[in-house]
Amino acid sequence: MIPAALIAAIVVAAPSQGLIDASKDAFGAGDYEAALIGFRKSFAGSPDQPLLLWNIGRCLEDLGRTDEALESFEKYLEIEVDDGDGIREALKKVATLRAAAKPKSATLRVESTPPKAQIHVDGEAVGDAPVLLDVPEGDHMIAATLDGHLRAETKVFATAGQAAVISLALPEVPKEAPAVGTDRPPPPPTQTWIAPAFIGAAGVLLTALAVHALLDSGEHDDDAAAARRRGASGELSAAAASALATDAEDRATFHGAMGWTFAAGAAASLGWTSWSLAK
């Protein structure tokens, strides 16, 4: 069995790998206290080796310091991203230790692709992936969000005392492709006023025709009245006066109808022209 004093001396006398090897020997010999000292000093000098946290947790677990062991295994899970077997073993350790303290809880490790997505559990943000969670037994909605990516989510059932790894892949937000055949170029400036100009001119012409027809209708009414006066004065026979008056009234009716028809067409043409130009 390697004493703790020798482990501490190796920190100065030997390179880091020598200290790690000595700590492993101490662990294998059952001297968990000496191994713990060596592994902790090794990790302080090489924090980029998360496996040392696993070894520290094993020492603490065998020493009966379960709370500290749980903390070390949890820290290992928060740092380690490549060692799949190590992650699964650490998850089992965490689940076992947590279940002892909280029998109705389950342990989840949520990962994301790409990493660092914000994780939400049942609508509440819990941190950036990878994240270690202690959740009550039952159904839970796990979601991940990341700028530039679509939201990913899954529903899981967490079993008390069990551990699971949840992986969420967030696809990139698709780039919007330009629509084909939907956007038409605006018409040339000359085309924007040609139709209104023609229809407006037609409206002016119809207005003139309407005025002319209504004036003619009025003149024919005057002719009918004059014919009746001439018949009454004896200048014309009653039959001739009646015939002239009837003919004049018929012409007045015809021109009046034409005049109002032209007026309606003029109003429609000029109204459409005004609306078209105001758009």
List CB contacts of 75: < 8 A, sequence separation 6 or more.
53
Q: Do residues 112 and 92 both lie within one domain?
A: no
Of 53, 83, 101, which residue constitutes the final position of a domain? Answer: 101
133 domain-assigned: yes
Q: Are residues 8 and 90 in the same domain?
A: yes
Which residues constitute the domain of residue 121?
Answer: 102-173
Residue 269 has pLDDT above 60, yes or no: yes
| pLDDT tens string 68-87 | 998 998 888 887 667 677 78
CA distances from 192 to 37, 196, 273 (A): 88, 8, 11
Q: How many residues does the chain have?
A: 279
pTM: 0.40
The answer to whether residues 276 and 265 touch, using CB atoms and an 8 Å cutoff, is no
pLDDT, residue 190, reads 54
Kindly indicate the confidence band of residue 110, based on its pLDDT and cuts at 50, 70 and 90. Answer: very high
Token digits of residue 162: 């069990």
Whether residue 38 is found in the same domain as residue 111: no
Burial class (CB within 10 angstroms; exposed 0-12, middle 13-18, buried 19+) of 91: buried
Claim to verify: residue 201 and residue 273 sit in the same structural domain: yes
* C-alpha–C-alpha distance, residues 63 and 220, integer Å: 126
188 belongs to a structural domain: no
In this structure, are 96 and 64 located in the same domain?
yes
Q: How far is CA 267 from the centre of its chain?
A: 50
The reply to whether 16 and 97 lie within a common domain is yes
Residue 202: inside a domain, yes or no? Answer: yes
Q: Is the pLDDT of residue 256 over 60?
A: yes
Work out how many domains the chain is built from and give that number.
3
Query: Whole-angstrom distance between the N-terminal and C-terminal Cα of the chain?
Result: 95
CATH number for position 56: 1.25.40.10
CB 131, CB 148: distance < 8 Å: no
Question: Is 180 part of a structural domain of the chain?
Answer: no
Region 128-136 average pLDDT: 88
d(CA 197, CA 203): 10
Spatial distance between the Cα atoms of 267 and 204, rounded to a whole number of angstroms: 9
Question: CB–CB of 137/158 below 8 Å?
Answer: yes
Asked, for residue 182, whether it belongs to a domain, the answer is no
Report yes or no on 184 lying in a domain. Answer: no
pLDDT tens, position by position, 162-208 = 888 899 999 999 887 665 555 566 656 555 667 777 777 777 787 88
Q: In terms of pLDDT, which residue wins out, 252 or 158?
A: 158
| Residue 92 is assigned to a structural domain of this protein | yes
